[in-house]
Amino acid sequence: MDFLRPASWEEALAAKAEHPTAVPLSGGTDVMVEINFDHRRPEYLLDLNRIELLREWEVGEENVRLGAAVPYTQIMENLRAELPGLALASHTVASPQIRNRGGVGGNLGTASPAGDAHPALLAAGAEVEVESVRGSRFIPIDEFYTGVKRNALQPDELIKTVHIKKADGPQQYSKVGTRNAMVIAVCAFGLALHPETRTVRTGIGSAAPTPIRAKEAEAFLNAALEEGGFWDNGKIITPSIAKQFADLCSGAANPIDDVRGTAKYRRHAVGIMARRQLGWTWEQYRGSGRTLEGAA
Ligand SMILES: Cc1cc2nc3c(=O)[nH]c(=O)nc-3n(C[C@H](O)[C@H](O)[C@H](O)COP(=O)(O)OP(=O)(O)OC[C@H]3O[C@@H](n4cnc5c(N)ncnc54)[C@H](O)[C@@H]3O)c2cc1C
């Protein structure tokens, strides 16, 4: 196995163009496990750890530009206000050691349906900036996941940056597992309220072949909130709206039975998480100090 250690982004792109089968190595918390267990024996490893720009982030007017290799610990410590959903999801990843090494670029590279970053990225709204010697392109997060552990990257492309919409309202993330730490999700759910556009977005993890949004549930809730004037009057969301939203989220899941849980349990748990998160985020929105015109 040859170990390629480019000193710059340009060198990394050139190396990937020359050796398209080279496996990029960022934190190594997925790659090294696969190599240690002999699940993978790549001809080339492409170590990205000398490339500073992958570990940088920038908070802009509307988006956060998150370098592909920014570790989860940095997201938790520095981007909690801008990316609350992703910061909560980062907290649930593995242990401090793994969170110090692993990051969102690696989670996207692996594209496991159980990856914790995905529901938060889907709910917040994100685009993945990928680059090759041919140029760069932006892939909307909804189009990034193409199958079980498959993504939209071409063989010569690398993930450079993830552009994530800054939170304009409350966000939540939760994950069901057999214990509180070091656990791969049985299923996971993320929710983001976007008061600026009066919309909600969701993300479901580990309950379908790829991470997905519950689009029908979002459309239902968007219409119900608009119709009832909820964004303006700040009223408590009725139990029947919350239940229908939860049922639609549950119905959007397309899980399987496996060692971590049954399909039936996963579908049920997705609905529970959806209802709870809607309650938590809406309470936060109601208490956020906005003018509650006509509030009861
Ligand atoms: C003990 C343990 C517990 C874990 N628990 C969790 C958990 O709770 N939740 C969770 O989501 N994950 C978990 N993981 C998996 C892993 O930590 C995450 O997927 C992490 O985000 C991977 O990031 P990384 O930087 O280490 O990626 P790496 O291992 O370096 O790479 C992962 C994949 O992405 C590709 N890649 C990396 N960077 C790029 C790039 N810039 N461009 C293109 N491709 C790239 C690699 O080639 C590889 O295919 C766990 C792993 C371990 C070992």
- CATH fold of 177-287, please? Enolase-like; domain 1 (3.30.390)
Residue 161's SS3 state is: strand
| Residue 115 Cα: closest atom of ligand 1 | 11
Report, as an integer, the average pLDDT of 144-160.
98
Give the alpha-carbon dihedral of 143, 148, 150, 151, to 10 degrees: 20
226 has pLDDT over 50: yes
Ligand 1 centroid to Cα of residue 246, in Å, is 30
Q: What is the reported pLDDT for 294?
A: 36
Ligand 1 centroid to Cα of residue 99, in Å, is 10
Ligand 1 test: best mutation among 36, 110, 112, most atoms within 8 Å of CB? 110
In this structure, the residue with its CA closest to atom 46 of ligand 1 is 24
d(CA 157, CA 263): 35
Sheet with 63-67, strands from edge to edge, namely 57-59, 63-67, 158-165, 126-132, 135-140
d(CA 182, CA 104): 17
pLDDT tens digits, one per residue of 237-246: 999 999 999 9
115 C-beta closer than 6 A to ligand 1 = yes
93 C-beta closer than 6 A to ligand 1 = yes
Residue written as token pair 């990843």 = 93
Report, as an integer, the average pLDDT of 57-65.
98
Residues of the chain above pLDDT 90, percent: 95
Residue written as token pair 């039975």 = 257
234 C-beta closer than 6 A to ligand 1 = no
In this structure, the residue with its CA closest to atom 12 of ligand 1 is 115
pTM of the model: 0.97
Cβ burial 45-81 (10 Å sphere, 16+ → b, else e): bbbbeebeebbebeeeeebbbbbbbbbbbbbbeebee
Closest CA to 56 of 105, 99, 109, 107: 105
With bands split at pLDDT 50, 70 and 90, how would you rate the model's confidence at 289?
Answer: low
Q: What is the phi/psi pair of residue 114, to 5°?
A: -95, 0
β-pair partners for 4:
46
Domain ranges of the chain: 1-47, 177-287
Q: What is the reported pLDDT for 91?
A: 97
Report, as an integer, the average pLDDT of 270-292.
89
Report, as an integer, the average pLDDT of 84-93.
98
β-pair partners for 193:
200
CATH 3.40.50.300 is held by the domain 1-47: no
The distance of Cα 246 from the centroid of its chain, to the nearest Å, equals 20
